[in-house]
Amino acid sequence: MAAVEAPPAGRGGWKNPGVARDRDVHAFDVRAPAYESGGLGRLHHEIADRTIALALRSAPNPGRVLDVGCGTGYLLRELARRLPEATRLEGVDAAPRMVETARSLAPADARLHFSRGFVEDLPHPAGSFELVISTTSFDHWADQAAGLAECARVLAPGGHLVLTDLFSLLLWPTLLAGHRGRARTVRLATRRLRAAGFQSIRWHRSHAILLRTVIASAPSATTDAGAEAWS
């Protein structure tokens, strides 16, 4: 299969890193038609449901939501059901077939939109969303620092980022090999969140032993930059 077309350099000068990331996108394209099927599909649903529950504790009624790495759109379909007053539910994913599948599974709801894009160069104006959410996507971002900076940019002041992925000291050995440069521990991820400008960083235990959810706030006049906690 031909390499995935790279996006242009974004606001932060990010550029697609090439073949390795293209292979990653291709792998998700292959999985797209059956992504919600079987045991793995149930696991993805459970992770999304847990992430939604945590997100709605911090942002009980967000009007505008962005799902980064939306996959087949399950999380946004659930939010559409749970948030009847929401006005905009957007999903972005780097894998074209994931986007196609999300569109095909979406109900007739004018608030739901799915498009292809890269987290390092989100196709949205600054301050567009009150909630940015992402599940098991962060570990696949080509440039995590640039992606977090973009999430911060598109959040309205005081909005929330809710991100679930693999974060554990047990994963530290993987940082010395194929996952070098990945923020796969709470400490490293917290450092990158702070560098992107996020505040009130709070970590939660998620679905399994290695999965953690972090909730962080975009800067506003009332947030406390020093707040950080576990629950």
100 has a pLDDT exceeding 80 = yes
Q: Can you point out the beta strands (E) in 69-222?
A: 88-93, 112-116, 129-135, 155-166, 199-205, 211-217
Delimit the domains of the chain by residue range. Answer: 19-230
Give me the phi and psi of 230, to 5 degrees please. Answer: -115, 150
* pLDDT on residue 34: 73
The proportion of the chain whose per-residue pLDDT surpasses 70, expressed as a percent, equals 78
pLDDT greater than 50 at residue 191:
yes
Q: Which residue has the higher pLDDT, 168 or 126?
A: 126
Place of tokens 């007739």: 108
pLDDT, average across residues 198-204: 96
| CATH architecture of the domain formed by 19-230 | 3-Layer(aba) Sandwich (3.40)
pLDDT bracket for residue 121 (50, 70, 90): very high
Is residue 8 scored above 50 in pLDDT?
Answer: no
pLDDT tens, residue by residue, 11-69: 544 455 443 456 578 777 777 677 777 887 788 899 999 999 999 999 999 999 999 99
| pLDDT on residue 182 | 75
Long-range contacts of 208-212 (CB under 8 A, 24+ apart): 209/168, 209/170, 210/166, 210/167, 210/168, 210/170, 210/171, 211/47, 211/164, 211/165, 211/166, 211/167, 212/164, 212/165, 212/166, 212/167, 212/168, 212/186
Residues 196-200, mean pLDDT to the nearest whole number: 96
pLDDT of 223 strictly over 80: no
Q: What pTM did the predictor assign?
A: 0.83
**pLDDT given at position 26:** 76
The encoded tokens of residue 113 equal 């939109």
**pLDDT score of 48:** 96
Nearest to 142 by CA among 69, 90, 203, 214: 69
pLDDT surpassing 80 at residue 170: no
* Whether the predicted pLDDT of 226 surpasses 60: no
Of 70-74, 75-79, 223-227, the range with the lowest mean pLDDT is 223-227
Tokens of 188: 């490293």
pLDDT at position 85 over 60:
yes
Residue 150 has pLDDT above 90, yes or no: yes
Please give the residue that has the higher pLDDT: either 190 or 12. 190
Higher pLDDT, 106 or 9: 106
